[in-house]
Amino acid sequence: MSGDMNGIWVFAEQRGGELHEVSLELLGKARELADEAGKKVTAILLGHDIRSLSQLLLNHGADSVLVGDDPRLKTYRLIPYARVMASLVHTYDPEILLMGATYMGVELAPRVAAKVRTGLSAHCIDLRLGEKGQLLQVVPGWGGGVIATIACPDHRPQMATVMPGIMKALSAIEREDTVKEIEIDLPEKGLGPEVLEVKREKPDQLPLEKAEVVVAGGWGIGSQEDWKMIESLAELFGGSVGATRPPVDEGWAEEGQMIGQSGKTVRPKLYIGIGISGVMHHVVGMDQSEHIITINSDPDAEIFDTSDVIVVEDFRKVVPKLIDEIRARLKK
Amino acid sequence: MERIIVCLKPVPDPKQWDEVSMDPETQTLIREGIASVINPLDKHAIEAALSIQGVLGGEVVLLSMAPPSAASTLREGLAMGADRAVLLSDRMFAGSDTLATAHVLAAGCRWLGDNDLIICGNMSIDGSTAQVGSQLAELLDLPNIMHVIDLDLGEDGSMVVTRKIEHGFARLRGALPLVISVRKELNKPRYTSFTGILAAESKEIKVLSNEDLKISPEVIGIDGSPTKMAGIELRRFERAREKLDGSVDEIVESLAGRIYQYGII
Ligand SMILES: Cc1cc2nc3c(=O)[nH]c(=O)nc-3n(C[C@H](O)[C@H](O)[C@H](O)COP(=O)(O)OP(=O)(O)OC[C@H]3O[C@@H](n4cnc5c(N)ncnc54)[C@H](O)[C@@H]3O)c2cc1C
């Protein structure tokens, strides 16, 4: 059993026995920070019959896993989860606690931070170490137009949430099993709202934040009919379709496809933006992409400031030919 | 139902965000001349409160921690139909992070007395942390539910709430008192009527300072906030911006070439 569990913690989020990707991504970052600071990484896994997930956590960077396995933790409920997390923090006194900015994490992390009276920063886009083991938390503000660095000098743990897709998971390596079961101590009553029903559907495209290629369309696409061009292009690359807000409002794309401040943050290998003006609200969700190609008929489009390769043209002239050209090259 | 509190945050009008600049000397944001509006999601919170009030009665009270100038923004909420407002305003509150803000709001809730329901917008459009609702609930020792997209009132005084989760939703039943944070899918905020605006003129906005609330200085304001600002900068985007020229065919040819170079095809 590796002794020190007071280093960097990652909350390993699972629903229905399925680990959320962001947990592995956070482990990747935690590993990097821990190696730099000479600390250990501990993953916290809560649920029921989920012990088998701990190997995955170890293989992706955790030195140890604290497992809370209890029927009362099977389905996520805020109050029991927050109580267990807070009591673990009191027992082990970790330096840092990272959680995904998921629907669950966004609700749970602040409750835990308030319980243990420590600081929490939301939606970090980068995490670094500063002096005296301080965690420097880089967050976007003002719709992303500004980035701020936050620290939590006098309280522990230093807590931060990170959106899915921001950090990179490490490739798995087999590591030895250092798993510790924890006692779950919960009262009979006062556990808050009961869960009546949980319903989830498999998404019909690769989650945007996982796609290697994202083809995003904007208001400039003009119609549901022409939106199909965006979908065909994305499909050719095995990529996903993203959107700005207007196509979502028009119903050409789904809410979950929106990129930007109020939507997803993507960092694909290639982002292709078509008919998008490049308002900050959208740009903050895509500007970390590795390569950015944009097509816009307006030579002064703002999106060009955030582009590697620029095409000033009506997309209706370019995209159909591009689809043919790519298709031809793929056949070769 | 005795009382529903709606937590309301005045935010700089998002339409004017392009006008925000930064003072390079002091590293602070210059937001002069930018109007304040009700945080957009908080309007959905007000709407939810008013429609519950329509069924169960009780009063709807707006609660805000903000500078005294926020009274005009609160007045807009009163014009929508809320009964009265409480503005928590004190220099000691300035610079509060989310936990310190939650301490101030919690004190405001306690000052009001027994509350059945506290409704927040899921997040503010400027800070976007989405942290205050959960922290307020914790400090008041009340259960809370975020990401709320549907609400039903049970006969027995309970509430059935639908919340968003990844690729789906969960339905929960909770007893009051409860804190909920709402998303825009929940409802459509009503338009403010002219009579609403007139009526708002005579509604009370009670201003409370820390003399009234007596919160320990150790948990509020800049000094009481566990998180500290360590730096701030305007975001810059540096990209090659190489424009492809030529006929459409030539452009398509070089585009495909790039995509090949990137190792995509
Ligand atoms: C608080 C807030 C949060 C927001 N959050 C988000 C967010 O998360 N994500 C988001 O995307 N938006 C968000 N928005 C909306 C955002 O401000 C913009 O309105 C939106 O991003 C603009 O989308 P667009 O670029 O598709 O449309 P437009 O700005 O209308 O641009 C359309 C572009 O298409 C080009 N075009 C037109 N015809 C053609 C053609 N035939 N060929 C090529 N180009 C063509 C035009 O030149 C133009 O540049 C938010 C807004 C607010 C106020």
Pocket of ligand 1 (CB under 6 A): A 143, 218-220, 244-246, 258-263, 275-277, 279, 281-282, 285, 295-298, 301, 314-316; B 14, 125
The pLDDT of residue A202 is: 75
Q: A69-108, pLDDT tens digit by residue?
A: 999 999 999 999 999 999 999 999 999 999 999 999 999 9
Given pLDDT bands bounded at 50, 70 and 90, which one contains residue B19? confident
Average pLDDT value for chain B:
93
pLDDT of residue B27: 61
| Residue among A230, A249, A282, A310 to mutate when testing ligand 1 (max atoms within 8 A of CB) | A282
Q: Is the pLDDT of residue A257 over 90?
A: yes
pLDDT at A277 over 70: yes
Q: Report the pLDDT value the prediction gives residue A1, as an integer from 0 to 100.
A: 41
> Quick check: A280 and B137 CB within 8 A?
no
Is the pLDDT assigned to residue A2 strictly greater than 60? no
Instruction: List pLDDT tens digits, range A4-39.
Output: 899 999 999 999 999 999 999 999 999 999 999 999
Mean pLDDT of A42-48: 98
Please name which of A44, A74, A98 lies closest in space to residue A195, comparing C-alpha atoms.
Answer: A74
- From its phi and psi, is residue A61 left (phi > 0), alpha (psi between -120 and 50) or beta? left
Kindly list the structural domains of chain B, giving each domain's residue range(s) and its CATH number in brackets, ordered by start: 3-219 (3.40.50.620)
Is it the case that residue A306 has pLDDT exceeding 70? yes
Place A178 in a pLDDT band, splitting at 50, 70 and 90.
confident
Mean pLDDT, range A291-317, rounded to an integer:
97
Report pLDDT for A174.
87
Residue A43 contacts residue A31 (beta carbons within 8 Å)? no
Give the list of residues 6+ apart from residue A195 with CB closer than 8 angstroms, or none.
A75, A76, A77, B170, B171, B172
pLDDT digit string, tens, across residues B171-182: 999 999 999 999
For B182-204, what is the mean pLDDT?
A: 96
Q: What is the pLDDT of residues B127-137, one digit of tens each?
A: 889 999 999 99
The DSSP symbol for B8 reads -
Average pLDDT over residues B51-56: 95
pLDDT score of B28? 65
Amino acid identity at A209: E
pLDDT category, A3, cuts 50, 70, 90?
low
- Which residue owns the Cα nearest ligand 1 atom 31? A277
What is the model's pLDDT at position A144? 65
User: What pLDDT shows up at residue A85?
Assistant: 98
Return the pLDDT at A269.
94
C-alpha distance from residue A77 to each of B53, B141, B163, B166, B250 (Å): 28, 15, 12, 15, 57
pLDDT of residue B246 exceeding 70: yes
Which residue's alpha carbon is at the smallest distance from atom 38 of ligand 1? A220
Residue with CA nearest ligand 1 atom 43: A296
Q: Give SS3 for A264.
A: strand
- Terminal alpha carbon distance of chain B: 62
Distance CA A93, CA A222 (A): 55
Which of A167-176, A304-313, B63-72 bottoms out in mean pLDDT, i.e. has the lowest? A167-176
Q: Quickly count: other Cβ atoms within 10 Å of residue A329's Cβ.
A: 14
Determine the Cα–Cα distance for residues B47 and A36; give it in Å rounded to an integer: 50
Query: Which domains are assigned to chain A?
Result: 2-181 (3.40.50.620), 208-331 (3.40.50.1220)
Residue B94 has pLDDT above 60, yes or no: yes
pLDDT digits (tens, 9 = 90+) for A108-134: 999 999 999 999 999 998 999 998 889
Helix (H) or strand (E) holding A159: strand A158-162
Residues of B in contact with A119 (CB under 8 A): 97, 99, 225-227
Which of A197, A13, A40, A211 minimizes the C-alpha distance to A107? Answer: A13
What's the rounded mean pLDDT across residues B253-257?
95
CA distances from B9 to A192, B64, B125, B250 (A): 26, 6, 9, 53
Indicate if the pLDDT at residue A153 is higher than 60.
Answer: yes
Average pLDDT of the residues of chain A: 93
